[in-house]
Structure 1
Amino acid sequence: MEFSEASYQIIAELLAARTGQQLTDNRKWRLTSALSGVFREHGISNIDQLVCLLDASSDPSQPGNLANEVVEALLNNETYFFRDKPTFDQIPQEILPILRERRARLRRLSIWCAGCSTGQEAHSLAMLFDEQKDLWAGWSIEILGTDISKKAIRTAKNGLYSQFEVQRGLGVTEMLCHFDEAPDGWQLRDNVKRFSRFEQHNLLTPPPRRGKFDLILCRNVLLYFDAETRSLIFNRLASALAGDGYLMLGAGETASARTSAFTPSGKRASIFELGGAAKANQHEVALAPL
């Protein structure tokens, strides 16, 4: 389906204004397919017609706002359980043992899955803790999943997934251990869901809470932003991370070339620690008089 360059620019600007994400030329090809559901819902035949109707959708607070629906449809909610397993496996094999030792006195661990989409990443972490419940007995474990998509967060909270979704990243044994079959798919069990909570959050805004996180996962999210926006988000993430905490990006993603807020964590793939300036800034804030 063809559409004018002017219509493309209007939709790209809408997405950037609401989320900071860039609708680059290499994503233009999926524009029509991504918006097909919006077309059916509103009886719209093409993108140029959609753009004309967007002018009448001026109040983003309204639930039925057409612009909101367009933005939701354009968000990439690609995710699956234990995504990029070699990278993810560093969490139970290396990161959690270190954090368990460092937090042994407080017995409290806080993890933020930023850009969590429909929740599989946060629930994957919860499965790890549930499988090691004896090791973490007496600990307070908090896994916070956030995403800008209201629809994705609703799915994450429900923990109900299709057969296709649960089979992506999970073996049969894991699936049967953590899920119950339901009429509409597979329902995550409460003993796993109890570790996680979810809320809507925009990465361009301040972190979702004042306290520091021990581990932040922001995987395969930043590639949708331009360099300036990525730098802003890295600074947001740095302000939310404990001084001795860890940031995990997606496989192949890097922070060191984009910001001075983080530095690679040894030879660990896609894992970063706070850079010297960011650590110093946190120390200054901690010492500042109330």
Structure 2
Amino acid sequence: MSRRWRIETALSALLRERSIATLDELITILVMGKEPGLSSQVVEALLNNETYFFRDRTPFDTLARHALPALAAKRASKKRLRIWSAGCSTGQEAYSLAMMFADEADKWRGWTVDILGTDVSSCVIDRARAGVYSQFEVQRGLAITQTVRWFEEGGDGWRIIEPLRRNVRFQVHNLLDLPPQPAGGFDIILCRNVLLYLCSEKKAQAFDRLSSAMAEDGWLMLGAGETVIGQTKKLVSDTKVRGLYRLDHRKNDDRRMAAQA
């Protein structure tokens, strides 16, 4: 009953807008396929797009102290990093990553850092691409010095400056679909507070997609309340860094040896 109440609450504005009296009537319309565009509106309304710049700060410190220095050494010859922010919502996480690299411009000079943000919602991806945020959204997670450095004020809000905005690309993508390019090549994948909303079967499928998109020595970062334990056999916790996950090469090696026997 509580779950139905939450769904009705999330869809209340849409029901009023479309003059649909009840949730049951909405379900009937969807099943009958009378309004093809309605299903996407329902998905948009049900999504939790909660996010803000440098959300929970600790994960970004973890990347800065552990994953990025290790990758800087491993990728020194090619000078290229690929990072995927999965379930990026309106883009704050992806832009926060871009700020991290820009704040250490000398260290990353000459590097190509490709930051991709994806989300199943086309509305939030449009907002992410525009890079325009309200005063409240900018103040939430950012210091005044960062606001001054990375934003320009306009009539419609605060916009990420173009030099930073061009370092991040966004696309609509469902986490359960085949991974975006480059398949098997992302050095870091952030998928925080996304899998919480999936059932066990879909969660296992999502982990399959995420693991197939990782570089062999890459990292996956999940939300504080998420884990791979009991969810997938393809990933294991990083033994040195809490909150980061790696491909389980022991099982991959076992499968390769079995295939060669």
- 2 CA distance for matches of 1:32 and 1:162? 28
Is structure 2 residue 128 aligned with structure 1 residue 156? Answer: yes
Greater shift, 94-103 or 205-214, is seen at 205-214
Question: Which residue pairs with 1:229 in the alignment?
Answer: 202
- 2 CA distance for matches of 1:108 and 1:282? 30
Question: Which residue pairs with 2:14 in the alignment?
Answer: 38
SS, match of residue 233 in structure 1: helix
Check whether the contact 1:84–1:251 (CA below 8 A) recurs between aligned residues: no
TM-score normalized with structure 2 length:
0.91
What amino acid is aligned across from residue 142 of structure 1 in structure 2?
A: D
Check whether the contact 1:54–1:67 (CA below 8 A) recurs between aligned residues: yes
Check whether the contact 2:54–2:141 (CA below 8 A) recurs between aligned residues: yes
Q: Once the 2 structures are TM-superposed, how far is the Cα of residue 277 of structure 1 from its aligned partner?
A: 4.9
- 2 CA distance for matches of 1:211 and 1:282? 18
SS, match of residue 20 in structure 2: coil
Query: Identical aligned pairs, as a percentage?
Result: 48
- 2 CA distance for matches of 1:196 and 1:280? 35
TM-score normalized with structure 1 length:
0.82
Q: Once the 2 structures are TM-superposed, how far is the Cα of residue 26 of structure 1 from its aligned partner?
A: 5.3
Question: Which residue pairs with 1:206 in the alignment?
Answer: 178
- 1 CA distance for matches of 2:5 and 2:31? 24
SS, match of residue 273 in structure 1: strand
Shift in alpha-carbon separation, 1:162–1:45, aligned structure 2, 3 A: farther
The one of 117, 127, 136 aligned to 2:108: 136
Please give the root-mean-square deviation of Cα atoms over the aligned residues, in Å. Answer: 2.2
Q: Deviations for 1:155-186, whole angstroms, at most 9, x for unmatched residues? A: 11111111121122112221221111121211
- 2 CA distance for matches of 1:205 and 1:283? 26
Question: Which residue pairs with 1:110 in the alignment?
Answer: 82
Question: Which residue pairs with 1:171 in the alignment?
Answer: 143
- 1 CA distance for matches of 2:148 and 2:52? 17
Q: Deviations for 1:188-207, whole angstroms, at most 9, x for unmatched residues? A: 11121121100011111111
Q: How many residues align?
A: 257
- 1 CA distance for matches of 2:222 and 2:255? 21
- 1 CA distance for matches of 2:28 and 2:145? 51
Question: Which residue pairs with 1:191 in the alignment?
Answer: 163
- 2 CA distance for matches of 1:87 and 1:108? 21
Q: Once the 2 structures are TM-superposed, how far is the Cα of residue 74 of structure 1 from its aligned partner?
A: 0.5
Check whether the contact 1:260–1:277 (CA below 8 A) recurs between aligned residues: no
- 2 CA distance for matches of 1:124 and 1:100? 19
Check whether the contact 2:7–2:46 (CA below 8 A) recurs between aligned residues: yes
Q: Deviations for 1:23-51, whole angstroms, at most 9, x for unmatched residues? A: xx654332233113312322234323323
